[in-house]
């Protein structure tokens, strides 16, 4: 076993040597490129890389990129220009506004550039960004969850489906760059399954299926709200019969897993504030 891992290590070394060996007259520089996540990383690197000529390695935590390129064939400016055209600002080039606007919401990093918002859509983020209290970004997202929970308490599958649809819309509307680092980390972890569960609830009018999907959804919602500063307390409640939790803005137990049959079954396990 030991020799195998040695061979592996040697092979890895060879591969990495080959990689840099392919770039002749190699020059290495470090530059700052704005971005948020894994998706950003792959787009930054893909747009910057040119086989045997330029290689980009971007670090998510520091936003620093290592550029290795053949100085006889290209330069830093050319690489950064390609990256800007893919939507990512650097100190030398700003991404075109329309390209930036088309990035997925999770990739819309906070720009240093002062953007001119001349559209008159529903985007008032540029006006309120600074004054908004922490936590309110997720407000409509939270509200959709609580509406959904209330619909399940009422055993109203039709409303639950509509509310779950609102929740998926609210997920899309959340601007990742306005979340705190901690919120963003949890968000990236839970958002895919949270979105899947919400979509599943939206798609069906079968209350049993809706309640089943609501279990995991509530757990993810809890993970998310735990990291947020909340304007009003949120109660994390538990149903022993279903071994499942849910969140509520009221301390009174109204069980979403049974509706009227076992409405008051359950207890508060944690109060988030
Ligand atoms: Cu992203």
| pLDDT of 199 higher than 90 | yes
What's the confidence (pLDDT) of residue 122? 37
Q: pTM of the prediction?
A: 0.53
Task: Give the Å distance between the CA of 103 and the centre of ligand 1.
Answer: 8
Using the structure block, give the residue that is written with the tokens 């550029």: 67
**Nearest by Cα to 107 from 126, 83, 141:** 83
Q: By three-state DSSP, how is residue 72 classified?
A: coil
Task: Give the Å distance between the CA of 224 and the centre of ligand 1.
Answer: 18
Task: Give the Å distance between the CA of 188 and the centre of ligand 1.
Answer: 9
What's the pLDDT tens digit per position in 137-196? Answer: 577 888 999 999 999 999 999 999 999 999 999 888 888 777 888 888 899 999 999 999
Q: Distance (Å, rounded) from C-alpha 246 to C-alpha 239?
A: 8
Q: Distance (Å, rounded) from C-alpha 87 to C-alpha 37?
A: 13
Task: Give the Å distance between the CA of 6 and the centre of ligand 1.
Answer: 37
Q: Distance (Å, rounded) from C-alpha 239 to C-alpha 221?
A: 16
What's the pLDDT tens digit per position in 28-52? Answer: 999 999 999 888 999 999 999 999 9
Task: Check: CB of residue 192 under 8 Å from CB of residue 150.
Answer: no
DSSP 155: T
What's the confidence (pLDDT) of residue 21? 62
């Amino acid at each position: 076993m030991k020799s195998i891992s040695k061979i592996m290590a040697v092979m890895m070394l060879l591969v990495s040597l080959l990689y840099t060996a392919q770039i002749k007259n190699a020059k290495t520089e470090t530059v700052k490129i704005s971005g948020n996540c894994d998706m950003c990383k792959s787009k930054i690197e893909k747009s910057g890389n040119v086989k045997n000529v330029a290689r980009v390695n971007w670090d998510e935590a520091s936003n620093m990129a290592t550029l290795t390129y053949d100085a006889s064939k290209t330069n830093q400016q050319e690489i950064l220009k390609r990256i800007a055209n893919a939507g990512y600002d650097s100190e030398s080039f700003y991404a075109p506004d329309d390209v930036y606007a088309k990035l997925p919401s999770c990739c819309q990093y906070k720009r240093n550039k002062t953007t001119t918002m001349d559209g008159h859509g529903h985007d008032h983020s540029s006006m309120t960004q600074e004054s908004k209290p922490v936590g309110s970004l997720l407000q409509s997202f939270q509200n959709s969850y609580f509406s959904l929970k209330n619909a399940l308490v009422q055993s109203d599958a039709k409303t639950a489906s509509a509310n779950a649809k609102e929740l998926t819309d609210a997920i899309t509307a959340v601007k990742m760059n306005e979340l705190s680092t901690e919120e963003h980390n949890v968000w990236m972890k839970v958002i895919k399954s949270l979105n899947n569960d919400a979509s599943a609830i939206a798609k069906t009018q079968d209350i049993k299926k809706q309640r089943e999907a609501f279990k995991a959804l509530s757990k993810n919602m809890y993970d998310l709200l735990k990291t947020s500063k909340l304007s009003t307390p949120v109660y994390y409640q538990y149903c022993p019969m279903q071994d499942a939790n849910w969140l509520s803005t009221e301390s009174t137990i109204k069980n979403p897993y049974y509706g009227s049959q076992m409405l008051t079954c359950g207890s508060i396990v944690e109060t988030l504030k």
